[in-house]
Chain A
Amino acid sequence: DADVTQTPRNRITKTGKRIMLECSQTKGHDRMYWYRQDPGLGLRLIYYSFDVKDINKGEISDGYSVSRQAQAKFSLSLESAIPNQTALYFCATAPDDTEQYFGPGTRLTVT
């Protein structure tokens, strides 16, 4: 079984809809991250969390919110989706300030 899982893997939604992307991990890591990846722009950090009570904004947090429900779960929400939020979204985990491990990604399309 994969150590970092993301659901859904693909999603098409309409402008204005609320959508939640979920991430779960069995690695026992305290640190979790959400990134989006767009062609030519690389990985951009949206939010990160170092434990259940710790949430930090990343480079591009506007239009997104997160919830750390447990050490193993970190959800990303788009309160009112817009077309420029169409992207590939990755969750990642890390044990400390070193290497990060990525989930398989969620491909989101907002029409």
Chain B
Amino acid sequence: RKEVEQDPGPFNVPEGATVAFNCTYSNSASQSFFWYRQDCRKEPKLLMSVYSSGNEDGRFTAQLNRASQYISLLIRDSKLSDSATYLCAVNSGQAGTALIFGKGTTLSVSS
């Protein structure tokens, strides 16, 4: 099993739709979880951290399921500007290492 896996998509949704992405991770010792957004040929930008109790930022909700070892990102009321690739990132659980990134899920929102 790969360390961090995401469905590459693409997810094609109309404006206003609700869409959810999952990201599975293999290391049960992982403690930190993040969602990044990457626009075409640009740098990944931190979208939100994922907390154990779940967290929300406007139209975006992130959840963590430790038992099944996955994190999720829910986007409500999708906008055209939400079209991008969404990367999940997980720390390895060992101090002094880098984040492990998934390959990303591509979202395309159309009018």
Contact = CB atoms under 8 A, between A and B. Distances in A.
Interface of A: 33, 40-43, 45, 48, 50, 58, 88, 90, 94, 97-105, 107
A42 B99 contact: no
Specify the main secondary structure of chain B where it touches its partner.
Answer: loop
B98 A102 contact: no
Specify the main secondary structure of chain A where it touches its partner.
Answer: strand
Contacts of A102: 43-45
A99 B45 CA distance: 10
Contacts, number: 49
B76 interface: no
B91 A98 contact: yes
A40 B89 CA distance: 16
Interface residues of B, number: 22
Nearest to A42: B103
Nearest to B32: A98
The 7 closest A-B pairs by CB, nearest first: A42-B103, A102-B43, A43-B101, A98-B32, A99-B46, A48-B98, A102-B44
B53 interface: no
A50 B98 CA distance: 10
Given A33-B98, A58-B98, A103 B103 contact: no
